[in-house]
C-alpha cells in the first residue's frame, strides 16, 4: 500500500515534469542546459527531487496527523506498542528498493558522462589565479580569458570613488570567450598552474576540477548556439569569485570563419613581435602600456598602488627587486617565483608588454629609477 | 526503588569524602562538596558536572563568535558588489566561521552534554578519568585563542576554507598557517581525550544491571561517536601535519612537482571529514530519542533497531568519503562505489526517522520547548537528508557541487540538525542542571523565532545553488541579488534570536520556579531519579536497575 502510493505519485509527478518542458532559465531550479547530458542530469535531479517530496509528504503527513490528533490536550492516551520487527523490515526494504530504482538511471548517465572517447575537438583548459587559459589542441593556438567587469562596478566600499552602476553581465563577462561549434564532441583537458580550480558551465552540466600537475577529462556536445556563462567552482584564493567562464557557441560555418581569423591573428602577432624586437620603446609609451598591463595582470595581488598586502603579497613600491638589478626584475616577472603565488608571465604577455610592465613597476609610485626596459632586454627563456 | 537508593547515596557524599571518589585532591577535602571557591573551582575541577558546564558555556561563547563571523559574511552578501570587507578577509571569515562552529560550538557542546549526562544516565558517580577530563577541556580555550589570534597576524588568518585544500593551504597560504595547524592539533587532542573518557566510562562504570541494551540511546550514540572520534581525529592530525611540513619543511605530499598529489589531501581530509559529519549528528539522534518518548508519554519505538541503525551509520560512514570529491576526476568505478554507499547510508538514517514518527504515533503529546525543538529537528534534519540524497546522485552532484545547494544542505543538517538538538537538550535538562524551571514562554518565543528565521536563512540557498551561485564567493552576479538579500535578513534574525536563548539560560540559572526531581511527566531514566538540581556527585552508591 505504502509502496504503491509512492510509485503512483512519483509517476504522476514525472509525467507532469515532462509536460512542463518549456525552456526558460529558472531562478529556482537547475537549468536543463543545452546538451543531451545536461538534460539527462536535469531529469535525474527532478526524479530524485520528486521521490524526496513524496517520501516527505508520507513521513511528515503521518507526523502531523499525530501532532494534531494524538495530543494530550485532546485527551489522547498513549498506546503501549513499542516494537515490531515486521515494520522495521518493511521500512528498511522499501527505501532500499527505491534507491536501487534510482541508482540504475544514475549509473548509466554517469558512465556516459565519463566517456570522452571519439572526440572531434580537444581544448586544454588551464586555471590559474584568477583566469582561465584555453588551448586549441588541433590548431596550436590559445589565449587567456580575463574578467572585464571594471573595479568601479565591483568596489562599493564607503571609501570607493567613481562607483559605476553594475552592467547586465556583472562578474560574468570576459575579454576573450571560449568559442566552440555546435554538434561536435568536444573533449576538455583540464588542469591548473597553481591551486585547484574548477571549470563549470551549468548549461553543459560540466564541472571538473583543475588540479595542478594532473590532467582531468570532460566532454560536451552542444545542441544550441548561444552564449553560456559559468564560474570557477573551487575556492582558489582571494579572487575566486572573480574568474568567470564565458563560452560562445557558433554554427559550424561561423566557427570555421572564427577559426581562420584566429589563425591569421596568431600569424600577425608573431610578425608584430619580431618587429617589436627591432623597435625602441620610449618612456611615455612604456608607462601607458605598462600601466594597462599592470592593472589587468598584477594589481589583484600587488594592488593598484603597488603596496601589496602585507604578509600575503609583497609590495613593489620601494621593493629591492623593483629598484635593483633589471635582469633579476625581468626574470621574476617572466619566469615567476617557484613555490609562491608569483606566476610566470612570459607565457601570458608579449615581450613588448613584459618590457613595458617592468618599466612601469620601476618608475611608478615613486620608484623613480628612470630605467626604460627594451624588448631586446627581455630574454624570454620559454618559446611562446 | 531507585529513588530511595540514589537519594541516600547523594546525602552520604555531602558529609564525607566517599571511598569511590578519587581522593587524590590537594584542596580542602572536608568543605561542603569539597570544592574550592571562585575561579579556582573551575580551573581545578575534576567534577563531571562542572566540566560539563564549562564545555557548554565555552561552546555557547564560540557559537556567538562564529555567529558574529556569519553576520559579517551575510552583511557583505546582502547586495552585489564589495561593500564591507575585502575578499581576502571574507575568505578568512568563511574559514574561521566553519572551524569555530565545527570544533568550537557543536563538538564541545556534545562533549559537555556527555559529561553532564552519561554518569547520571548509567548510574556512575563521575567520569572514569576525571583529571584527564579537566585537561581535555582546558586545552580547548588555548586552541581557540591561538586560532583567533592568527586573524590579527600580518597576512591574516586561515583563508583557505575550513576544508583547507592543498596547495591553497600550503604553498599559497599565509604564514599564520602554522598557528592554524597547531590549533587543530590541540583541538584534536582534546577530542580524543574526551572520547577515551566516554568509552572508558561507559564500558567500566555502568551500574550493576545496566546492560548495554538497557543503556539510554544518548549513551549508545555517544559510545559509537567516541569510537568514531578515536578512529578519525588522528587522521586529521596527520593531514594538518603534512600541510605543515609541505609548507614549511619542503616536503611534497600534496605537490605534483615533488611527486605528490593535491587530490591525496582531499582523500585523507574526507576520510576524517565524513565520519566527522556523523560525529556531529549521532549524539543528536540520542538526544531526540530521549525527548520524543518523554513528551509522547510512550516508549521509544524500536529501541534495538535504533542501536543497530546507529552502528550501521557509523560503519558506513567510513565508506562514503569520496562523495565530497566527485568532480576531482576519480575513475568511474570509484564514483559508482561511493554513489552506491552514500545512497545506502540513507537507509539506516531513514529507519531512525520512521522510528521517531512511530513513537509519536498514538502517543499523548505535549509541546514544551524541548519537544518543539526535537520535532523541528526531525523535519528539518530530514530535509537536509533529502538534499543529501540528491547530492549522492553523482551526475546531479556535478551540478550541485560547490554551490549554495551544498551550503543549504549542510546547514540544514548542522544548524537545524545538530544545533537544534543541542538547544532541545539544553531545555530538556536545564531543570535538572539548575534546579529551576526555565521560562517556558521565552523558550517558546526563542523556538518560533529560530524556526522561522532559520528557514528564511537557509531554504532560499537551495534555489541560489540550483540557479548556479558558487559557494565561498564575496560577490555575485545580479540574478542572485534578491534571494541573497532575503537570506541575509533571515541570517540577522536567526543571529538575534539566539540572544533570547542566552536570556532564558541566565534567568533559569539565577532562579525561578523550583523544579521537581522529574519535571517531565513522561520522562524515563536514572537522571530523573536524582533530585533537581542534581547533587555535586552523581550516584555515589550504585542505583539498582530493574
* Domain total in chain A: 3
Spell out which residues of chain A touch residue B174, defining contact as CB-CB under 8 Å: 311-312
Sign of CA dihedral B421, B426, B432, B438: negative
Q: Which of A227, A134, A218, A137 is nearest to A182 (CA)?
A: A227
- Tell me whether residues A237 and B399 touch, CB distance under 8 A: no
- Report the alpha-carbon distance of residue B45 to residue B189 in Å, rounded: 19
Here the CATH number for the domain that contains residue A341 is 1.10.760.10
- Report the alpha-carbon distance of residue A298 to residue B380 in Å, rounded: 46
A212: closest CA of chain B, how far (Å):
7
- Tell me whether residues A213 and B365 touch, CB distance under 8 A: no
| pLDDT on residue B446 | 98
CA-derived radius of gyration, chain B: 23
Q: Check whether residue A61 and residue A198 sit in a common domain.
A: no
Above 90 in pLDDT, residue B101? yes
CB-nearest partner of A88 from B263, B302, B476: B302
- Report the alpha-carbon distance of residue A106 to residue A104 in Å, rounded: 5
| pLDDT on residue B72 | 97
Half-sphere exposure of B436 (CA within 13 A, CB side): 14
With respect to residue A24, please indicate whether it lies within any of the assigned structural domains.
Answer: yes
Banded pLDDT at A296 (limits 50, 70, 90): confident
Strand runs labelled E in B24-121: none
B66 and B103 Cβ atoms separated by less than 8 Å? no
Least confident of A8-17, A268-277, B100-109, B425-434: A8-17
A65-94 burial, b at 16+ Cβ within 10 Å, e below that, comes to ebbeebbbeeebebeeeebeeebbeebbeb
Banded pLDDT at A271 (limits 50, 70, 90): confident
**Closest-approach residue (CA) in chain A for B471:** A233
A257: closest CA of chain B, how far (Å):
32
Residues 6+ apart with CB under 8 A from A245: A132, A145, A174, A178, A199, A200, A201, A229, A230, A231, A232
pLDDT digit string (tens) for A115-145?
A: 999 999 999 999 999 999 999 999 989 999 9
**Closest-approach residue (CA) in chain B for A85:** B302
Sign of CA dihedral B132, B135, B137, B139: negative
- Tell me whether residues A83 and B360 touch, CB distance under 8 A: no
Above 60 in pLDDT, residue A92? yes
Q: Phi/psi at B158 (nearest 5 deg)? A: -60, 130
Sign of CA dihedral A346, A350, A352, A358: negative
- Tell me whether residues A153 and B81 touch, CB distance under 8 A: yes
B462 is a catalytic site residue: no
With respect to residue A317, please indicate whether it lies within any of the assigned structural domains.
Answer: yes
Spell out which residues of chain B touch residue A88, defining contact as CB-CB under 8 Å: 302, 305, 351, 355
CB-nearest partner of B360 from A70, A311, A339: A70
Above 50 in pLDDT, residue A228? yes
- Report the alpha-carbon distance of residue B75 to residue B70 in Å, rounded: 8
Q: Check whether residue A127 and residue A223 sit in a common domain.
A: yes
**Mean of the pLDDT values across residues A172-200?**
96
pLDDT digit string (tens) for B478-531?
A: 999 999 999 999 999 999 999 999 999 999 999 989 999 999 999 999 999 999
**Closest-approach residue (CA) in chain B for A154:** B81
Residue holding cell 511528515? A60
The active-site residue out of B50, B76, B126, B397 is B126
Query: Does A304 lie at the interface with B, CB-CB under 8 angstroms?
Result: no
A38 and B327 Cβ atoms separated by less than 8 Å? no
**Closest-approach residue (CA) in chain A for B382:** A56
Q: Which three cell numbers stand for residue A175?
A: 575579454
**Closest-approach residue (CA) in chain B for A84:** B302
Q: Check whether residue A134 and residue A248 sit in a common domain.
A: yes
Report H helices in chain A.
2-19, 36-69, 85-113, 151-154, 252-278, 283-293, 299-302, 320-323, 326-335, 351-363
Beta bridge mates, A207:
A200
B267 is a catalytic site residue: no
DSSP string across B291-332: HHHHHHTSPPTTHHHHHHHHHHHHHHTTS-GGGG-GGG---H
| pLDDT on residue B540 | 87
- Tell me whether residues A207 and B398 touch, CB distance under 8 A: yes
* Chain A stretch 201-220, residues whose beta carbon is closer than 8 A to a beta carbon of chain B: 202, 205-209, 211-214, 216-217
Spell out which residues of chain A touch residue B335, defining contact as CB-CB under 8 Å: 110, 114
B422 and B106 Cβ atoms separated by less than 8 Å? yes
A91: closest CA of chain B, how far (Å):
7
A242 and B477 Cβ atoms separated by less than 8 Å? no
B463: closest CA of chain A, how far (Å):
5
B435-474 burial, b at 16+ Cβ within 10 Å, e below that, comes to bbbbbeebbebbbebbbebbbbbbbbbbbbbbbbbbbbbb
Q: Which of A253, A271, A289 is the last residue of a domain?
A: A271
Spell out which residues of chain B touch residue A168, defining contact as CB-CB under 8 Å: 478
| pLDDT on residue A379 | 64
B403: closest CA of chain A, how far (Å):
7
**Proportion of chain B above pLDDT 90, given as a percent:** 90
Beta bridge mates, A219:
A187
Spell out which residues of chain B touch residue A207, defining contact as CB-CB under 8 Å: 327, 398-399, 401-402
The active-site residue out of B21, B97, B206, B446 is B97
Residues 6+ apart with CB under 8 A from A380: A334, A346, A351, A354
CATH class of B2-15+42-529: mainly alpha
Spell out which residues of chain B touch residue A80, defining contact as CB-CB under 8 Å: 298-299
**Closest-approach residue (CA) in chain A for B331:** A114
- Report the alpha-carbon distance of residue B424 to residue B417 in Å, rounded: 11
- Report the alpha-carbon distance of residue B163 to residue A176 in Å, rounded: 33
B191 is a catalytic site residue: yes
Here the CATH number for the domain that contains residue A143 is 2.60.40.420
- Tell me whether residues B395 and A111 touch, CB distance under 8 A: no
**Mean of the pLDDT values across residues B314-339?**
96
CB-nearest partner of A154 from B350, B357, B475: B475
Report helix, strand or coil for A218.
strand
CB-nearest partner of B82 from A103, A156, A169: A156
What is the number of CB-based contacts under 8 A between chain A and chain B?
300
- Report the alpha-carbon distance of residue B149 to residue B508 in Å, rounded: 33
| pLDDT on residue B440 | 96
* Burial (CB count within 10 angstroms: exposed 0-12, middle 13-18, buried 19+), residue B379: middle
- Tell me whether residues B357 and A62 touch, CB distance under 8 A: yes
CB-nearest partner of A91 from B351, B364, B473: B351
Spell out which residues of chain B touch residue A116, defining contact as CB-CB under 8 Å: none
With respect to residue A199, please indicate whether it lies within any of the assigned structural domains.
Answer: yes
A346 DSSP 8-state letter: G
**Mean of the pLDDT values across residues B384-409?**
97
CB-nearest partner of A96 from B347, B362, B473: B347
With respect to residue A237, please indicate whether it lies within any of the assigned structural domains.
Answer: yes
Q: Which of B223, B183, B182, B226 is nearest to B206 (CA)?
A: B223
Above 60 in pLDDT, residue A23? no
CA-derived radius of gyration, chain A: 28
Give the number of other Cβ atoms within 10 Å of residue A215's Cβ: 15
Q: Check whether residue A130 and residue A247 sit in a common domain.
A: yes
With respect to residue A22, please indicate whether it lies within any of the assigned structural domains.
Answer: yes
B70 and B97 Cβ atoms separated by less than 8 Å? yes
B354-376 burial, b at 16+ Cβ within 10 Å, e below that, comes to bbbbbbbbbbbbbbbbbbbbbbb
B19 DSSP 8-state letter: T
Q: Which of A344, A363, A364, A366 is nearest to A354 (CA)?
A: A344
Beta bridge mates, A132:
A127, A145
- Tell me whether residues B91 and A240 touch, CB distance under 8 A: yes
With respect to residue A41, please indicate whether it lies within any of the assigned structural domains.
Answer: yes
B460: closest CA of chain A, how far (Å):
9
B97 is a catalytic site residue: yes
> Peptide bond before B533: cis, by omega within 30 degrees of 0?
yes
Q: Check whether residue A134 and residue A215 sit in a common domain.
A: yes
Helix crossing, B107-122 with B48-76: angle to 10°?
A: 150
Q: Check whether residue A353 and residue A298 sit in a common domain.
A: yes
| pLDDT on residue A380 | 53
Banded pLDDT at A189 (limits 50, 70, 90): very high
- Tell me whether residues B303 and A62 touch, CB distance under 8 A: no
Query: Does A56 lie at the interface with B, CB-CB under 8 angstroms?
Result: yes
B401 is a catalytic site residue: no
| pLDDT on residue A339 | 76
Above 80 in pLDDT, residue A289? yes
pLDDT digit string (tens) for B121-164?
A: 999 999 999 999 999 999 999 999 999 999 999 889 999 999 99
Q: Which of B537, B542, B539 is nearest to B47 (CA)?
A: B537
CB-nearest partner of A78 from B298, B340, B466: B298
- Tell me whether residues A208 and B327 touch, CB distance under 8 A: yes
Query: Does A111 lie at the interface with B, CB-CB under 8 angstroms?
Result: yes
- Report the alpha-carbon distance of residue B215 to residue B121 in Å, rounded: 8
Pick from A6, A24, A29, A30 the residue to mutate for testing the B interface (most B CBs within 10 Å). A30
What is the layout of strands, in order, in the sheet containing A244-250?
A178-181, A244-250, A226-232, A197-201, A206-210
Q: Check whether residue A351 and residue A214 sit in a common domain.
A: no
Above 60 in pLDDT, residue A341? yes
With respect to residue A188, please indicate whether it lies within any of the assigned structural domains.
Answer: yes
Q: Phi/psi at A271 (nearest 5 deg)? A: -65, -45
Sign of CA dihedral A344, A347, A351, A356: negative
B349 is a catalytic site residue: yes
Domain extent for A312 = 279-377
B505: closest CA of chain A, how far (Å):
27
Beta bridge mates, A313:
A309
B206 is a catalytic site residue: no
Helix crossing, A36-69 with B332-360: angle to 10°?
A: 20
With respect to residue A160, please indicate whether it lies within any of the assigned structural domains.
Answer: no
How high is the ipTM of this complex?
0.90
The active-site residue out of B42, B78, B116, B278 is B278
Amino acid at each position: 500500500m505504502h509502496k504503491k502510493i509512492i510509485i503512483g505519485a512519483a509517476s504522476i509527478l514525472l509525467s507532469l515534469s515532462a509536460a512542463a518542458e518549456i525552456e526558460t532559465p529558472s531562478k529556482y531550479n537547475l537549468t536543463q542546459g543545452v546538451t543531451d547530458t545536461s538534460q539527462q542530469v536535469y531529469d535525474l535531479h527532478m526524479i530524485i527531487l520528486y521521490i524526496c517530496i513524496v517520501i516527505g509528504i508520507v513521513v511528515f503527513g503521518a507526523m502531523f496527523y499525530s501532532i494534531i490528533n494524538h495530543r494530550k490536550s485532546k485527551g489522547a492516551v498513549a498506546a503501549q506498542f513499542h516494537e515490531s520487527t515486521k515494520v522495521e523490515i518493511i521500512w528498511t526494504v522499501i527505501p532500499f528498493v527505491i534507491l536501487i530504482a534510482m541508482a540504475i538511471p544514475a549509473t548509466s548517465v554517469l558512465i556516459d558522462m565519463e566517456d570522452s572517447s571519439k572526440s572531434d575537438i580537444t581544448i586544454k583548459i588551464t586555471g590559474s589565479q584568477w583566469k582561465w587559459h584555453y588551448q586549441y589542441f588541433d590548431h596550436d593556438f590559445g589565449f587567456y580569458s580575463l574578467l572585464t567587469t571594471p573595479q568601479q562596478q565591483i568596489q562599493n566600499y564607503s571609501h570607493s570613488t567613481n562607483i559605476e552602476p553594475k552592467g547586465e553581465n556583472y562578474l560574468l563577462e570576459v575579454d576573450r570567450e571560449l568559442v566552440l561549434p555546435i554538434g561536435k564532441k568536444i573533449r576538455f583537458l583540464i588542469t591548473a598552474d597553481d591551486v585547484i580550480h574548477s571549470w563549470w558551465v551549468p548549461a553543459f552540466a560540466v564541472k571538473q576540477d583543475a588540479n595542478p600537475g594532473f590532467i582531468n577529462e570532460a566532454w560536451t556536445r552542444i545542441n544550441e548556439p548561444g552564449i553560456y556563462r559559468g564560474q570557477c567552482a573551487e575556492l582558489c584564493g582571494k579572487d575566486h569569485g572573480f574568474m568567470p567562464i564565458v563560452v560562445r557557441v557558433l554554427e559550424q560555418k561561423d566557427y570555421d570563419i572564427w577559426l581562420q581569423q584566429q589563425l591569421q591573428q596568431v600569424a600577425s602577432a608573431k610578425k608584430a613581435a619580431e618587429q617589436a624586437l627591432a623597435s625602441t620603446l620610449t618612456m611615455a609609451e612604456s608607462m601607458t602600456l605598462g600601466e594597462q598591463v599592470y592593472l589587468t595582470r598584477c594589481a589583484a595581488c600587488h594592488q593598484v598602488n603597488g603596496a601589496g598586502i602585507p604578509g600575503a603579497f609583497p609590495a613593489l613600491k620601494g621593493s629591492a627587486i623593483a629598484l635593483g638589478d633589471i635582469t633579476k626584475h625581468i626574470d621574476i616577472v617572466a619566469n615567476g617565483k617557484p613555490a609562491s603565488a608569483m606566476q610566470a608571465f612570459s607565457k601570458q604577455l608579449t615581450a613588448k608588454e613584459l618590457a613595458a610592465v617592468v618599466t612601469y613597476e620601476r618608475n611608478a609610485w615613486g620608484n623613480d629609477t628612470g630605467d626604460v626596459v627594451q624588448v631586446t632586454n627581455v630574454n624570454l627563456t620559454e618559446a611562446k | 526503588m531507585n529513588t530511595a537508593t540514589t537519594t541516600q547515596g547523594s546525602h552520604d557524599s555531602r558529609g564525607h569524602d566517599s571511598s569511590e571518589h578519587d581522593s587524590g585532591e590537594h584542596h580542602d577535602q572536608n568543605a561542603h562538596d569539597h570544592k574550592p571557591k571562585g575561579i579556582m573551582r573551575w580551573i581545578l575541577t575534576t567534577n563531571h558536572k562542572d566540566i560539563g558546564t564549562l564545555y557548554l558555556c565555552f561552546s555557547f561563547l564560540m557559537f556567538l563568535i562564529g555567529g558574529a563571523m556569519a553576520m559579517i559574511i551575510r552583511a557583505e552578501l546582502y547586495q552585489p558588489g564589495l561593500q564591507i570587507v575585502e575578499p581576502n578577509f571574507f575568505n578568512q571569515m568563511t574559514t574561521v566561521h566553519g572551524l569555530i562552529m565545527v570544533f568550537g560550538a557543536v563538538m564541545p557542546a556534545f562533549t559537555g552534554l556527555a559529561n553532564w549526562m552519561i554518569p547520571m544516565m548509567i548510574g556512575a558517580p563521575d567520569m572514569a578519568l576525571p583529571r584527564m577530563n579537566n585537561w581535555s577541556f582546558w586545552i580547548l580555550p588555548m586552541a581557540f585563542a591561538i586560532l583567533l589570534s592568527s586573524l590579527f597576524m600580518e597576512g591574516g588568518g586561515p583563508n583557505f576554507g575550513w576544508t583547507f585544500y592543498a596547495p591553497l593551504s600550503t604553498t599559497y597560504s599565509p604564514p599564520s598557517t602554522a598557528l592554524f595547524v597547531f590549533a587543530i592539533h590541540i583541538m584534536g587532542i582534546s577530542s580524543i581525550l574526551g572520547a577515551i573518557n566516554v568509552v572508558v566510562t561507559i564500558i567500566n562504570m555502568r551500574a550493576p544491571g545496566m546492560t548495554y541494551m538497557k543503556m539510554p540511546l544518548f549513551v549508545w550514540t555517544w559510545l559509537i561517536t567516541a569510537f568514531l572520534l578515536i578512529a578519525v581525529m588522528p587522521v586529521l592530525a596527520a593531514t594538518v601535519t603534512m600541510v605543515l611540513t609541505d609548507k614549511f619543511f619542503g616536503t611534497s605530499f600534496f605537490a605534483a612537482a615533488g611527486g605528490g598529489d593535491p587530490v591525496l589531501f582531499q582523500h585523507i581530509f574526507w576520510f576524517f571529514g565524513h565520519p566527522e559529519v556523523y560525529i556531529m549528528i549521532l549524539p543528536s539522534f540520542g538526544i531526540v530519542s530521549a525527548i520524543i518518548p518523554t513528551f509522547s508519554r510512550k516508549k521509544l519505538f524500536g529501541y534495538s533497531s535504533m542501536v543497530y541503525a546507529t552502528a550501521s551509520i557509523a560503519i558506513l560512514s567510513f565508506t562514503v568519503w569520496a562523495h565530497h570529491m566527485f568532480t576531482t576526476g576519480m575513475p568511474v568505478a570509484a564514483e559508482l562505489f561511493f554513489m552506491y554507499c552514500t545512497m545506502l547510508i540513507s537507509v539506516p538514517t531513514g529507519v531512525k526517522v520512521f522510528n521517531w514518527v512511530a513513537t509519536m504515533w498514538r502517543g499523548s503529546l505535549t509541546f514544551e520547548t524541548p519537544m518543539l525543538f526535537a520535532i523541528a529537528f526531525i523535519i528539518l534534519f530530514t530535509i537536509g537528508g533529502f538534499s543529501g540524497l540528491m547530492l549522492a546522485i553523482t551526475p546531479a552532484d556535478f551540478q550541485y557541487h560547490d554551490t549554495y545547494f551544498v551550503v543549504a544542505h549542510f546547514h540544514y543538517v548542522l544548524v537545524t540538525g545538530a544545533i537544534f538538538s543541542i538547544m532541545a537538550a539544553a531545555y530538556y535538562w536545564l531543570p535538572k542542571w539548575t534546579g529551576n524551571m526555565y521560562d517556558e514562554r521565552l523558550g517558546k518565543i526563542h523556538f518560533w523565532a529560530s524556526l522561522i528565521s532559520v528557514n528564511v536563512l537557509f531554504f532560499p540557498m537551495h534555489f541560489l545553488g540550483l540557479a548556479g551561485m558558487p559557494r565561498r564567493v564575496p560577490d555575485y552576479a545580479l540574478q542572485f541579488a534578491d534571494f541573497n538579500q532575503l537570506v541575509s535578513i533571515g541570517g540577522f534574525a536567526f543571529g538575534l534570536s539566539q540572544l533570547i536563548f542566552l536570556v532564558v539560560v541566565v534567568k533559569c540559572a539565577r532562579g525561578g520556579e523550583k523544579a521537581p526531581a522529574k519535571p517531565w511527566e513522561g520522562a524515563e531514566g536514572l537522571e530523573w531519579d536524582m533530585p533537581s538540581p542534581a547533587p555535586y556527585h552523581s550516584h555515589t552508591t550504585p542505583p539498582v536497575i530493574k
